[in-house]
Amino acid sequence: MSAAQPAIRRSALQTAIRRAGQALAGSQAQAGYWWADLTADSTLESDYLLMLLWLHPPRNGVWSPPEPGKVARAVASILARQNEDGGFSIYPQGPSEISASVKAYFALKLAGIPVTDPRLERLRDRILALGGIQATNSYVKLNLGLFGLYPREHTPTVPPEIMLLGRLIYEVSSWTRAIVIPLAIVHSLNPRRPVPAGFTLDELWKPGVSPAPRWNPKLVSWRNFFLCADRLLKWWERHGSRPLRSHAIRKAEAWMLERTQHSDGLGAIYPPMQYIIFAMDALGYAPDNPHRVEAVRQFLRLMVDDERGLFFQPCFSVVWDTAIAAFALGEAGVATEEQLARCGTWLLSKEVRRPGDWMVKRPRLEPSGWYFEFANEFYPDIDDTAMVLLGLRHARAHDQPAQLAAEKRAVAWLLGMQSGDGGWAAFDADNNHQFLSHVPFADHNAMLDPTCPDITGRVIEALAASGVPKSHPAIRRGVEYLLRTQQPDGSWFGRWGVNYVYGTFLALRGLRAAGYDDREAEVLRAGEWLRSIQNADGGWGESCASYDEGCYVQAPSTASQTAWAVLGLLAGGDTTSQSVHRGQAYLTATQRQDGQWDEDLATGTGFPRVFYLTYHMYRNAFPLLALAEYSRLAAANEEGL
């Protein structure tokens, strides 16, 4: 190798870092934050049309929705994602999935596409091949049941009386309670909404398949227990105490309204923001009621309708995007001091200082932490708080004493939110009663909020970066948790990113921050696993199907997953292997001239096996972070450059 070659490689790497940094820094809002699109599958647009039918029922059997142009653009958005086999997937390039397909069929037929249209014919055939409408998840059945399109007796009961059972509602995940409580109001009031004259979904029923939920062949099981309980609840709906039900509904209503305060809508995420509109309507709130007007306004803010088409974001990822961008830019040293100061000042304005649902389990903790969106005061989350603390290592706010005080509070909050098993979850502590996953309406695969390696690794890194000693009991327990949850092949499961590549990179960063020796077997096995799954082009990719298979499933290389793998290898002490060099070369070679990267696949996770996310910030921020760290760690080894 000539002496000039390392210098050329180093020059190309520095050019890539500079271009990436300029592109990312240049997208900062004047207020100091970064905010990119967050997109998902076609179910959001399909549910939008269902909501329009709810709010604007047919007259004389004819449905005339307001703003028909938006309906047409929503239809175009749905159809743009139809698979060749006629169905709809829940992640880009994924197989057709039954619930997404039935939702799309309902929306397209409702919007006026005739059943003889070849697109609907192919979709119908695919739905029947996937098991028919009977095979959809409980939320599809509940939604269709509101319009008499699925038998109510075969949909799960969602009783508002759950509000009277002490803290039981806080034993399910924060997003589940935000969905279930307004849905319980709607379900209990049992409104029968009309559909256009002659509108049915009869053609989606698979012959010979019962619409009733399936019992577990094993007689004694939690599944069968809850199905028996569901029968009792259905009896209670017919014969139970009306005053008690009315009391439960009022309590659910008060809970729901309280959590719209200081928030971008209930839970600040799409499903509860839609269900609260249904609940207010069912409760008799007039269209001009201020609570209802605000709920509709917040929901419609999720809509993007521009030259790219019409689509909905499931929520706003602005605090998350900002923290990641600040950390990447700070590590790369490519943002100005004033840019980072404005960022730090904006982040300080988003610190939570009010009690939230998390206080049910941790009543003595002082409120702190950060949420995901522009406003969601009841639900600061552990992952965002850790990422913000990392971003604040570089984003020094204009008011330094205020920043130091906020960081101190946030560290104490993170320490207090550690679960009993040593790990950290997303929103709650010790939210892990597995038997609740068998409740009939729990098939969104996210009934609980258990601890996970990806968040645990990031929290350990953030605590260590914030000055918590490596010998601190919380960090030691976190390390023990990571070692205990490592997969036999050396990887770690990733709950909030796809999937084992994400979990492994964050677990390794946590172990490094905790001072765990990179020559230990667990770290060596993880590095070997990452190297073993590298694609031929030098990058890394993992399919969302890995959640279905319970192991890594290869996919085309993506910028974000390649960056995660490189960061994981570097955290494991690998700065010289061909794998890490080829990963860096892949990122450098695939960078666009404008400093950004292309990425079409979903690498974020909402609910495993149910709902996936494409974070449009990931493709630019994580490669910048990986290249910057690679450059720094490999600087002493010019031959590697």
Helix or strand holding residue 611 (H, E)? strand 611-615
The two three-digit tokens of residue 321, written as one number: 């995007």
Residue 606: strand, helix, or coil: strand
Q: How many CB atoms lie within 10 A of CB 479?
A: 23
Q: How many CB atoms lie within 10 A of CB 339?
A: 18
The two three-digit tokens of residue 583, written as one number: 């990963």
Contacts with 174 (C-beta within 8 Å, 6 or more apart), sequence order:
267, 357, 379, 426, 427, 428, 449
Contact (Cβ atoms closer than 8 angstroms) between residue 120 and residue 79: no
CA–CA separation, 75 and 67 (whole Å): 13
Helix extents (H) in 417-558: 453-465, 473-485, 500-513, 521-532, 546-549
Contact (Cβ atoms closer than 8 angstroms) between residue 102 and residue 140: yes
Q: How many CB atoms lie within 10 A of CB 185?
A: 26
Q: Is the dihedral of CA 614, 356, 177, 547 positive or negative?
A: positive
Is 58 exposed, middle or buried, given 0-12, 13-18 or 19+ CB atoms closer than 10 A?
Answer: middle
CA–CA separation, 155 and 138 (whole Å): 7
The two three-digit tokens of residue 624, written as one number: 């910048």
- C-alpha gyration radius of the chain: 25
Catalytic hit among 383, 384, 428, 574: 383
With tokens 């053609």, the residue in question is: 203
CA–CA separation, 617 and 596 (whole Å): 10
Long-range contacts of 487-493 (CB under 8 A, 24+ apart): 489/525, 489/529, 489/551, 489/552, 490/522, 490/525, 490/526, 490/527, 490/528, 490/529, 491/526, 491/529, 491/530, 491/552, 492/453, 492/454, 492/457, 492/526, 493/452, 493/453, 493/454
Is 125 part of the annotated catalytic residue set?
no
- Active site members: 383
